[in-house]
Amino acid sequence: MMPETSFLEEPSTSRSMLARAQNGDTESWQQLAQVYGPIIYAWARRSGCQAADAADVMQETLGAVASALQRFDHQRDGATFRGWLWTITRNKIRDHLRLLQHEEAAGGTAANLAMRQVPEAEPLSEPPTDAASDAQAARTRMLELLRTRFDHRTWTMFWETTIIGRDVHDVADQMGVSKWAVYKSRARVLQRLKDELHGMDDF
């Protein structure tokens, strides 16, 4: 049986969410954008973009991802969602910074400096942040989104007993319910989390 906290340790691209988004599910696409948009933004900032430019890159990248998502195949050898997403992001960063070069009245000094920070490498080269921190950020965002699907009491009983590790009886006393109510609430949240996060791709 899967340990109760193992969903927090798995890679961070839910294949089920990705599949639903590829099939045109609007809610899953919005979830995908909310989870990975901040990571795209961080990549752009690390690559030399100013805050406003990084926000533009994020929007342009998400637009390109929406158009190309159905063509992404996680079963292809060596394919990861992170690598695919970085390829699109890097191209949008370079496009955006080239545009800034043309707009610089003084010869593009600032834009040229930023351009030199964009990796000159093959499409599958690594993003400017490490995979572990990106995965943790995505997992955290996924949990934040999933948390909104439960009432406060249900989530509290799950969080206190599963994540913090408090005794079920203590939480039951605090919440004014039976221990079975705590077990039921915990099981409900765990099942939903496992459905959403189990079988995640290697982000």
Does pLDDT of 150 surpass 80?
yes
Strand partners, 201: 13
94 is written with which tokens?
């370079």
pLDDT tens digit sequence for 39-71:
999 999 998 888 999 999 999 999 999 999 988
Return the pLDDT at 99: 81
Report d(CA 176, CA 61) in Å as an integer: 48
State which amino acid sits at residue 30.
Answer: Q
pLDDT tens digit sequence for 168-197:
999 999 999 999 999 999 999 988 877 776
| pTM of the entire predicted model | 0.73
* Mean per-residue pLDDT, 76-94: 87
Which segments of 66-160 are extended strands (E)? none
Residue whose C-alpha is closest to residue 48's, from 100, 125, 2: 100
Asked if 198 and 7 count as a contact pair (C-beta separation under 8 A), the reply is: yes
